Amino acid sequence: MGVVVIQVDYSAKDKIEEDMDQGDNLRKWQLSRRQVLKAVGAAGVAALAAPLMPAFLARSAGSGPEEGSKATRLRQWVLVFDLRKCEGCITKGTPPKCIEGCNAEHFVPEGQEWIRVFQVEGPAGHSYFLPRPCMQCENPPCVKVCPVGATYRNDEGIVLINHERCIGCRMCMAACPYGVRSFNWDQPENPPGALFANYSPQYPVPHRRGTVEKCMLCAHRVQDGKLPACAEACPMYAIYLGDLTEDIATNGKDVVKLSQLLADSSAFRLKEELGTRPRVWYIPGHGQEYGHEVGDERPPIKARTWQEQGVTLEKKREGASK
């Protein structure tokens, strides 16, 4: 068994230490115990705060004087689409009025539709129409994935986007199981005067390049006691705005008990199995109440954009003041 003898040349080490003592530049890199503890403490606090940031950002994104409606209790908004009455406006020979109403209200950028009307094939081989806005989920995946807290859910259950914070990463678009979000690849056309309009997440005009947009249940209208633009424009009164807090809903003509409406008509929600708990219900049907024949396979007519409808901010203001 051999013995290994290690010889250490202490003279070289001493030389280095002497250099360190003499060099001011090297001295700067020396840390005291206190400094190290301070740095560790700061890193710990940062590590702790990091997971809380999206929630904090989301909360701060929604803070604004115009948040919420004027009722004492917080509303919990819902939409109900009565498909027994929705026939895609084809028997009227017009484009779907809900889409056009939405386009005109929000100056929706060309190529986007914040509410879309799909023609769906039913189990009996017939077709029916399915208007699909944002589902305003109670458990929204889009909010959870937003890295900057730009998309958030306000106290009244409306999922909004703060475009001043949106960085255009499109994570929310990937996360949304309903595909209701659109992206502004280019600078969208805004109506004249819109650049000076007061932007708010409730009414995101002017539109901005590189941000995500979607239906926001006309948050600016419902908190003023008005129907969303789609519901107001629907000639069939097929769209109900409801409030879960008061258990009430209206389509602009009738005032009904929301829970009764849903229970009596076997209402359903889209992709309920995902656990997103959408706030949009559908009453099954195929437009039969307005004479839509089962064999009528005509697709809906393409909706006009706000430019084609000739809507301007001035006209909208005049209409609102009347």
Q: Whole-number minimum distance, CB 269 to other proteins, in Å?
A: 13
Q: Does 13 bind other proteins (CB under 8 A)?
A: yes
Whole-number Å distance between alpha carbons of 13 and 16: 5
Instruction: Please work out the total of residues on this chain that contact other proteins, with binding judged by CB under 8 A.
Output: 47
Applying CB under 8 A, among 158, 241, 262, 311 the residue interacting with other proteins is 241
DSSP for 118-171, written as a single string = EEEE-TTS-EEEEEE-----SS-HHHHH-TTS-EEE-TTS-EEE-TTT-----H
Whole-number Å distance between alpha carbons of 109 and 87: 25
Residue closer to other proteins (CB basis): 260 or 307: 260
Per DSSP, the three-state class of 117 is strand
Q: Does 253 bind other proteins (CB under 8 A)?
A: yes
What residues form DSSP beta bridges with 241?
A: 79, 250
Q: Does 7 bind other proteins (CB under 8 A)?
A: no
Q: Does 31 bind other proteins (CB under 8 A)?
A: yes
Q: Does 158 bind other proteins (CB under 8 A)?
A: no
Q: Does 138 bind other proteins (CB under 8 A)?
A: yes
Q: Does 53 bind other proteins (CB under 8 A)?
A: no
Applying CB under 8 A, among 148, 248, 301, 313 the residue interacting with other proteins is 248
Residue type, 287: G
Secondary structure letter of residue 3 according to DSSP: -
Q: Does 17 bind other proteins (CB under 8 A)?
A: yes
Whole-number Å distance between alpha carbons of 275 and 184: 29
Whole-number Å distance between alpha carbons of 111 and 306: 11
Binding mask 270-309 for other proteins (x = CB under 8 A): -------x--------------------------------
Q: Does 156 bind other proteins (CB under 8 A)?
A: no
Q: Does 73 bind other proteins (CB under 8 A)?
A: yes
| Residue for token pair 């060099």 | 23
Counting Cα atoms < 13 Å in the Cβ hemisphere of 241 gives 22
Residue closer to other proteins (CB basis): 37 or 167: 37
Asked whether the beta carbons of 302 and 205 are under 8 A apart, the reply is no
Q: Does 19 bind other proteins (CB under 8 A)?
A: no
Q: Does 120 bind other proteins (CB under 8 A)?
A: no
Applying CB under 8 A, among 19, 254, 293, 318 the residue interacting with other proteins is 254
Asked whether the beta carbons of 79 and 281 are under 8 A apart, the reply is yes
Asked whether the beta carbons of 215 and 134 are under 8 A apart, the reply is yes
Whole-number Å distance between alpha carbons of 107 and 308: 11
Query: Which residues contact other proteins by CB under 8 A?
Result: 8, 10, 13, 17, 30-31, 33, 36-37, 39-41, 43-44, 47-48, 71-74, 76, 138-139, 222, 225-227, 231, 241, 243-257, 259-260, 277
